[in-house]
Amino acid sequence: MKRLTVIAVAILTLGLVLFSACNKLDNPTNPTTENMIYNANIPYETEMNVPSDLSEATIDKPAMLLFPKDDPLYPERPIKYMVPLGRILKQLNLTDEQKAQIQEFMQAYRDCVKSALMALRESERQILQQANQARQQVREQLQSGAITREEAWQQLRQINERTREALINNPVRQQVLQQLKECWDTFIANIKSILTDEQKALFDELLAKCKDNRGGKGPGTRP
């Protein structure tokens, strides 16, 4: 009886192993991979290349920057223009191997964008530093009695206005915009490199429709 029980347990265990193996063969793609690529909506370059918001300087507190989340896959803020890349990829009937490769390309694109935007944020920190140095001078003049509180507020308003304009007109933004375009071009080239001729033709057609749907116009440089 004991021997029969051991045999039954062994058969049950073998059955579970085979069932698990069959499931893996039927669905070899990691669901996370599929979700990542098929849900991807990629913001245009100009939607990512935005200045940080300014928390204005006052007599009592320095100016501060409110940085946006520089993640093209998860920007977590309103985006007006996006490429529905996931919807496009879903129509290509990708193999599991292609899906895994595109996930790698997508991560590389994400890293490229974040790296480019780091340069922009660093330049903004320098603008902020200059603003707070000017604010400190105003505070020292106020404390010494050289200017009135009303005059101090007037100077601070001018500092805030100049700082906001400097953030918007920051020349580094144009350089970063070009870098973001290169990130995108590399990303698309990588995807095309693993597609069949039929998939590539459909991919180009669907990307072109994104542009056509806006009358051939758009804030960025795509497709």
CA angle 177, 39, 212 (to 5 degrees): 55
* Helix pair angle (172-193, 96-144), 10° resolution: 170
Contact 195, 203 (CB under 8 A): yes
For residue 213, name the pLDDT band (cuts at 50, 70, 90): low
As a whole number of angstroms, the distance between CA 121 and CA 52 comes to 8
The pLDDT assigned to 209 comes to 86
Query: Would you say 215 and 91 are in contact if contact means Cβ atoms under 8 Å apart?
Result: no
In this prediction the pTM is 0.76
Share of the chain above pLDDT 70, in %: 80
* pLDDT tens digits, 75-115: 877 888 889 999 999 999 999 999 999 999 999 999 999 99
Residue 201 dihedral angles phi and psi, to the nearest 5° = -65, -45
Buried b (16+ CB within 10 A) or exposed e, 35-47: ebbbebebbbbbb
3-state secondary structure of 92: coil
